Amino acid sequence: MRYALYYAKVSMMSFEISSETLIEAFENVKEAVRKTEGWSRGGLMLGLQELGGSPDGFVGAYYPVESNIIVLNMTPLRRIMETDHKLLSPYLFAILLHEYLHSLGFMDEAATRQKAHEISSRYLGEYHPSAELSLDMERYQNNLVYPLYGWAPSVPSDIELVKGFDRSSYSSYIA
Ligand SMILES: [Zn+2]
């Protein structure tokens, strides 16, 4: 896969989620994994891409195997901001935790969800929305996809890189 990569400018998004919000969400995820499991890795990049979503399902994010990039789908983020912005930070935690676990070597989908649920329950409490989202995003689907026809780009858009992501790994890089 080849993507055009360029740095995201917040103003390029049609909704207000700052790079800082994304960076802080990821720092929080790394802290949760480090504190509960003692695992960490650095050197990850975050990309943003419009991947769409439909009532049948959606891709919240993906991690190309053995890569160093987590790509977040902007479509559900926009939908959350339009429907219930309070869901943004629980959602970011759940989705970044899931992809971070993939980057740590969890490849099986069910095992990844289970581990994400375990970590978020221990770190945030089992009834925290992030813990529920880690296990089952479908119950929040109304907030994550566009109703009726869904929405998908006819041509996948370029990936925007979030500058300064994975800030904490610069000083102590763990491959
Ligand atoms: Zn996954």
Q: pLDDT band at residue 2, thresholds of 50, 70 and 90? A: very low
Q: What is the pLDDT of residues 110-150, one digit of tens each?
A: 999 999 999 999 999 999 999 999 998 888 888 887 765 66
Q: What is the overall mean pLDDT for the chain?
A: 82
Has residue 164 been placed in a domain? yes
Distance 59 CA to ligand 1 centre (A): 9
99 Cα to the center of ligand 1, angstroms: 6
- 56 within domain boundaries: yes
* Cα-to-centroid distance, 171 and ligand 1 (Å): 28
Residue 10, pLDDT > 70, answer no
pLDDT at 175: 30
Domain of 41, CATH number, reads 3.30.2010.10
Number of domains in the chain: 1
- Average pLDDT on 68-75 reads 91
Question: Which residue range(s) make up the domain with 58?
Answer: 5-169
C-alpha span between 19 and 56 (Å, rounded): 29
Both structure tokens of 124: 């945030």
- Is residue 175 assigned to a domain? no
Identify which of 109, 113, 53 has the alpha carbon closest to the alpha carbon of residue 77: 53
Please say whether the beta carbons of 135 and 48 come within 8 A: no
Is the confidence at residue 100, as pLDDT, over 90?
yes
Rounded Cα distance, 71 and 8, in Å = 13
Q: Evaluate if residue 155 carries a pLDDT over 70.
A: no
Find the 43 Cα to ligand 1 centroid distance in Å. Answer: 19
Give yes or no for residue 174 having a pLDDT over 70. no
In terms of Cβ atoms closer than 10 Å to its own Cβ (0-12, 13-18, 19+), residue 38 is exposed
Query: In 61-125, at which residue ranges do the beta strands (DSSP E only) sit?
Result: 61-62, 69-73
Question: In angstroms, what is the span from residue 111 Cα to ligand 1's centroid?
Answer: 9
Q: Where are the beta strands (DSSP E) in the chain?
A: 5-7, 45-49, 61-62, 69-73, 159-161
Residue 174 within any structural domain of the chain = no
Percent of the chain with pLDDT over 90: 47
Task: Provide the token pair at 31.
Answer: 């802290």
In a domain, 142, yes or no: yes
Indicate if the pLDDT at residue 152 is higher than 70. Answer: no
**What is the C-alpha separation between 175 and 169, in angstroms, rounded?**
10
pLDDT tens profile 28-43: 999 999 999 999 998 8
Q: Check residues 53 and 11 and name the one with the higher pLDDT.
A: 53
